[in-house]
Amino acid sequence: MTLIVEGLTIDHGAIRAINNVSFKVPQGQLAAIIGANGAGKTTLLRTLSGLKKSKAGSATWDGHSILDKRTEDLARSGIVHVSDGKSVIAELSVKENLALPGIWRKDKKDVAMATTEVIEMFPILGQRLSQSAGSLSGGERQMLAIGRALIARPKLLLLDEPSLGLAPLIVEQIFLIIKSLVTKKDLTGCFSRTKCNGCAQDS
């Protein structure tokens, strides 16, 4: 299974947000999409997960077109989007947030197993199950967002700015988590990262 993007073009009204973009991400690999604010990173990821329509070009996963499909259908087929920053529902508890993928997944046994795995992977979430997601730190929220995505059993994980607004040490922790997920679970991943001028550790 490979993600293949060819000549993808996306407009925001009269403005061209993504122009003739092509790249490939083979199974089990992790791709970083890097650019300044306004480069089109979020637009690109939102289009790959069905949240935005494309203008021209193609994007396929496992040989099937993924453009202009419904996000929920793509999620069911294993393409799972983690939107930037505050993608968890602040008013719901950690436990309720983690339960969201279980609403549409039919295999409840596997949902329970995946939830246990996520809590083992992020013990801090296990300690905060009854707390509202809004009370979590930025790093914990990102762990919750990633954990919730994992309960959907993704094959292709699209992470928009997983490092947004996090302290450098926490960014490192989140990056290591993403790297180990892709390696251990044989996922394919794409994540975006804003370039940071003059920030030597940001490569």
Partner 1 sequence: MGALKIADEGIVLNLGSVVAVDSANKLLNDPAVRAAYLGF
Count Cβ neighbours within 10 Å for each residue of 46-66 and write b for 16 or more, e otherwise: bbbbbbbebeebebebbeeeb
Query: Which of 194, 175, 200 minimizes the C-alpha distance to 30?
Result: 175
- Provide, rounded to whole angstroms, the least separation between the CB of residue 20 and partner 1: 7
**Binding flag, residue 21, partner 1 (CB under 8 A):** yes
- Provide, rounded to whole angstroms, the least separation between the CB of residue 161 and partner 1: 10
Q: Which residue, 64 or 179, has its beta carbon nearer to partner 1?
A: 179
> Cα(187)–Cα(149) distance, rounded to whole angstroms?
12
Check if the beta carbon of residue 41 is closer than 8 Å to that of residue 15: no
Applying CB under 8 A, among 44, 45, 74, 98 the residue interacting with partner 1 is 44
**Binding flag, residue 14, partner 1 (CB under 8 A):** no
Q: Given the rule CB under 8 A, which of 24-32, 67-75, 89-97, 128-136 is the region that contacts partner 1?
A: 24-32
> Cα(20)–Cα(125) distance, rounded to whole angstroms?
41
**Binding flag, residue 40, partner 1 (CB under 8 A):** yes
Size of the site for partner 1 (CB under 8 A): 43
The full DSSP string for 188-199 is: EEEEEEE--TT-
**Binding flag, residue 6, partner 1 (CB under 8 A):** no
Residue 35, classed as helix, strand or coil, is strand
**Binding flag, residue 170, partner 1 (CB under 8 A):** no
Specify the DSSP element, H or E, that contains 148: helix 138-151
Residues at the site binding partner 1, with contacts judged by CB under 8 A:
10, 16-25, 29-36, 38-41, 43-44, 163, 171-172, 175-176, 178-179, 191, 193, 195-203
